[in-house]
Amino acid sequence: MNTIFIGKNLRNLRILHGYTQIKLSELSNISEHDIWQYENGYKKPTFEHINILKGIFHVKATYFYRNDLIHEQPNNINVHHISFRFLND
């Protein structure tokens, strides 16, 4: 597994869920500044923060360390066929 945290994956998940950095900070008890630093590659999250984030977004920790398939193999996925919906809590 690549050991470099990919901040873009965190940002994509946050936006997909409709969260601002402030909202994610409130949900995770991680400072808004730290979230900004993680997303922009200025700081690597602790394992504790990775566990919190993966729990919020229901993903495996490895998601944050692998390139997204859409960016990795754009010719294999037609982005016009992708849809998502927001679920009510």
The per-residue pLDDT for range 60-87, each reduced to its tens digit, is 999 999 886 555 555 555 656 666 666 6
> What is residue 3's predicted lDDT score, i.e. its pLDDT?
77
Radius of gyration from C-alpha coordinates of the chain: 13
The DSSP call for residue 43 is: S
Q: What span, in angstroms and rounded, lies between the C-alpha atoms of 80 and 26?
A: 33
pLDDT in the model for residue 67 = 82
Residue range 12-25: average pLDDT?
95
* pLDDT at residue 32, rounded to an integer: 97
In CATH terms, is domain 7-81 a member of 1.10.268.10?
no
- pLDDT score, position 79: 58
Amino acid at 29: N
Residue 47 has pLDDT above 60, yes or no: yes
Closest CA to 13 of 38, 33, 31: 38
Encoded tokens for 10 = 């965190």
pLDDT of residue 83: 64
Q: Are 5 and 45 in contact (CB under 8 A)?
A: yes
